[in-house]
Structure 1
Amino acid sequence: MTSLQLSAKEEMVERFLDAAARGDMIQVSTMLSQSPSLINQTGYSGWSALMLGARNGHYPVVEALLSHGCDKFSVNSSSQTAYDIAKFWGHRHISNLLGHTDDRCQRVLPGADLHQQENYFSRETLDRLSAKRTDKGWLEDKQSDPNTVYLLFSNCSPMVSSPLEDRNAGGENQLCRFRYETVKDLLQKPATVLIFLGVERRKKPSSHTVDGVREPPAWFAINTDEDTAELLKRCREKNCCFPKTLNRDLLKFSEEEAGVVAQARSVLAWHSRYSFCPTCGSSTRSKEGGYKRSCLNSDCRSLKGVHNTCYPRVDPVVIMLVIHPDGNQCLLGRKKIFPAGMFSCLAGFIEPGETLEEAVRREVEEESGVKVGPVQYISCQPWPMPSSLMIGCLSVAISTDIKVDEKEIEEARWFPRQQVIDSFRGTRPAFTVPPRQTIAHQLVRHWIGMTSNL
């Protein structure tokens, strides 16, 4: 009976998605009135009715779905929102509808595309509650709360679970979650680093208790040097591990968990590098929920005033897609460490006292010999390996001759738009694009969609 009911539900979802794809407003409206829960249901590759309507240019369907409160920020398996899809396929009237912002914002930034691109590692699943980091009593109460969630890290690598058969086939990882009773012994050990990540965001009001509103569960991350085999015994599941190849394995989380991993790993990596004071060399201790390290030398000048050595550091990096003056080619390069055939955007660290525009121009010329003129910011991405912020830009070349710095990259080429499109589609690929979780992938996709009418 359960199997038949499930099949009937799946069939209803398929009919609803098909109606949206065909632009059948009558059927879409009828099915929504009968079963409102259909609105955010997804089918193949995570495509929703909104995405299908946007793909096929059905403005009335998109408008109706939005009026019913559908989630326009949800993404499919390729990390595309309905806005991205409409823009890629040239349905500007629909992308304008999906990217609509408050008129007040448009008056402040006239002509700007204010749609916020969400990149992997960027989703804020937790409310960080930074004001609570100095409330020692509140933090201690939360640590022993039975509803609090703990994440275990070893050498800044998170404990994850994944189906054994999917480990080598690109299956999705899930963070292993622990309660206080399981980890309280680790909290007593001097070498353990504990950071407060925040509390769960709740869409609906919390239920009430006698004392008032019940607070959502808090999340903490623990980094320990305990033996990994012993740590794995704490998990009830047998398919747990600590990933070894972080550049690959950290790209296998859901969007929600990826954001948590980015926050936790970046702060934990900072702790691993700052156990001694950069100012005087003395030992330091963790404070403020793990978001500050204080020198134990009472005479250290870092204890007077504000010093950026006391707080987690973020390293700004520009990553840019350089567009040929003809508008129909882009410049991509490859490093020796890249997988065979893969080309990506050029990138480099911003230097002290340098604007991001000048950093783009300098890095492109240093690595490829190409001179760049106009620079436009697109979006950014936290990159927790260990703690960079990738600042994504488009730029226009004012010279086209390539002369690579072989210490930086081994090759750079101009790729015509059609070759780039073919590489995304997997048809006659001239090269391999970076993984969809990278901002490089999203920058190239953004450029393709700017004037594409495929």
Structure 2
Amino acid sequence: MTSLQLSAKEEMVEKFLDTAARGDLSQVSTLLSHAPSLINETGYSGWTALMLAARNGHHHVVEKLLSLGCDKFTVNSSSQTAYDIAKFWGHRHIANLLSRSADGCRRILPAADLSPQENYFGRETLDRLSRKRTDKVWLETKQSDSDTIYILFSNLSPMVSTSQEDNSEEQGDIKLCRFRYEDVRDLLQKASTVMIFLGMEKMKNPSSSTSSQTVESISEPPVWFAINTDEDAAALLKRCRGKNCLFPRSPNRDLLKLNEEEAGIVAQARSVLAWHNRYSFCPTCGSSTHLEEGGYKRSCLNSECRSLKGVHNTCYPRVDPVVIMLVIHPDENQCLLGRKKVFPAGMFSCLAGFVEPGETMEEAVRREVEEESGVKVGPVQYVSCQPWPMPSNLMIGCLAVAISTDIKVDENEIEEARWFPRQQVIDSLFRGARSAFIFPPRQTIAHQLIRHWICMNSNL
């Protein structure tokens, strides 16, 4: 009897899903009037009637299902919501319906056309002039130009000057030490030195030049290079004419003290130099490699290596994508934050994790949140990204809406996770150390994501 009932139920579910996929509104309504529980039933790969209707562009069926209270946050085995499916297949009118419905994610997530947000490490002060990277004559000429600027790294730490008299980077802002060709000429002759071309300073107010000026009379802005060497750090510091020069010992903390312009330069330089530091041998055959294209390519010295035939990503600097997400409670007034053991006492931040091969940004967000906290996530929305040169990550900032609220922490990943009420988060932002928890530094995208959520639908 049970098996017969189960078969009858399965047959009813299959019929309902097929009806929704075909867009038969009348039949969908009839079936739901007799069996309302069908509305959120799933079929193959976890697809619901709402997903099938969204996939096939049946706006009227989607509208009906939403009016009857179907769960629009359900995800299939590919971690897609009905909204994701409609958007992927180009049914914009259905995606808009799913995002603006009374109980929909647009009420929780902001509009997709967000104004651009600049994050720390993201400012482009230099024109990278990638077209010049293969021009060896031009690069060699610029290397010895009297206006060219060099920044010096020792073991991937840039030489900086600080306002502190005791040469301590513990307090105060720091500035990059800038060198000319004659200051570093001897270092450039050493095989262990790695030099990369960073770009040319962007012209300020280029339109301000008068029409009487000829192209020849306008001098080019300075070109920048970065060099990394394993020479003795103390000896390198003696090259600097300024006072209070040092190499920061804790990049994750100390590089956050640079101004926005220099932070962007360091992000570019440190990421590429770190790649050279890790890839001096060919990942394909193990032979030695040499630097090309101004430091943006390494070629294998083994003429038989297959990396020399065609384009291979092992030859170019790599960037590791990381999703970092602020998870919003279904009630809209709480957010999920976690802390790692290495965090300063009292600090909580957004959850984060690496994107795996063959994985979308949205899927990575859902997987990482569930792995670290046990919370399931539905809709995901991109907000902004941030280069993070520790050593070469791209932090992809997202907002995500939770579809479950119970927390079960994976202690291998994080130490603790909690739901924080909006008011408590606001208090922490403005009261700092006197509050219930500490915000991540303002230079981090985690801080900006939390602040972005606080400011949604508010006057802050």
> Which sections of structure 1, spanning at least 5 residues, go unmatched?
1-110
Per the alignment, residue 459 of structure 2 pairs with: 453
1:446 counterpart letter in structure 2 = H
SS at match of 1:353: coil
The Cα of 1:184 is off from its aligned counterpart by 0.7
Per the alignment, residue 283 of structure 1 pairs with: 288
Per the alignment, residue 53 of structure 1 pairs with: none
Per the alignment, residue 57 of structure 2 pairs with: none
- Deviation track 1:96-139 (CA, whole Å, cap 9, x = no partner) reads xxxxxxxxxxxxxxx64341100000000000000000000000
Per the alignment, residue 429 of structure 1 pairs with: 435
Per the alignment, residue 197 of structure 1 pairs with: 198
| TM alignment of 1:287-436, pairs within 5 A | 287-426=292-431, 429-436=435-442
SS at match of 1:430: coil
The Cα of 1:446 is off from its aligned counterpart by 0.1
| TM alignment of 1:38-437, pairs within 5 A | 112-165=112-165, 167=168, 170-205=171-206, 211=216, 213-426=218-431, 429-437=435-443
SS at match of 1:222: strand
Q: TM-score, normalised by structure 1?
A: 0.74
Per the alignment, residue 35 of structure 1 pairs with: none
- Deviation track 1:130-187 (CA, whole Å, cap 9, x = no partner) reads 0000000000000000000000000010000001258455311100000001111111
Q: TM-score, normalised by structure 2?
A: 0.73
> Which sections of structure 2, spanning at least 5 residues, go unmatched?
1-110
Output the CA distance in 2 between the equivalents of 1:387 and 1:112: 28
Output the CA distance in 2 between the equivalents of 1:134 and 1:424: 48
Output the CA distance in 1 between the equivalents of 2:123 and 2:418: 33
The Cα of 1:212 is off from its aligned counterpart by 5.1
- Does 1:441 pair with 2:447? yes
Output the CA distance in 2 between the equivalents of 1:200 and 1:453: 38
CA RMSD, 1 decimal? 1.7
C-alpha distance 169-223 of structure 1, shift in aligned 2 (>3 A): closer
Output the CA distance in 2 between the equivalents of 1:168 and 1:297: 44
1:293 counterpart letter in structure 2 = R
Output the CA distance in 1 between the equivalents of 2:376 and 2:458: 26
- Deviation track 1:8-51 (CA, whole Å, cap 9, x = no partner) reads xxxxxxxxxxxxxxxxxxxxxxxxxxxxxxxxxxxxxxxxxxxx
Output the CA distance in 1 between the equivalents of 2:251 and 2:216: 44
SS at match of 1:178: coil
Output the CA distance in 2 between the equivalents of 1:317 and 1:151: 28
- Deviation track 1:194-249 (CA, whole Å, cap 9, x = no partner) reads 00000001123379689454211100000011111111111011200000111110
Output the CA distance in 2 between the equivalents of 1:425 and 1:373: 30
Contact 2:194–2:227 at 8 Å: present in 1 too? yes
- Deviation track 1:279-313 (CA, whole Å, cap 9, x = no partner) reads 00000011000000000000000000000000000
Output the CA distance in 2 between the equivalents of 1:213 and 1:236: 30
2:360 counterpart letter in structure 1 = T
SS at match of 2:331: coil
- Deviation track 1:366-396 (CA, whole Å, cap 9, x = no partner) reads 0000000000000000000000000000000
| Percent identity between the two aligned chains | 79
SS at match of 1:177: coil
Output the CA distance in 2 between the equivalents of 1:209 and 1:143: 25
1:113 counterpart letter in structure 2 = D
1:186 counterpart letter in structure 2 = L
SS at match of 1:451: coil
Output the CA distance in 2 between the equivalents of 1:416 and 1:112: 24
SS at match of 1:164: coil
Q: How many aligned positions are there?
A: 345
Which protein has the larger Cα radius of gyration, Structure 1 or Structure 2? 2
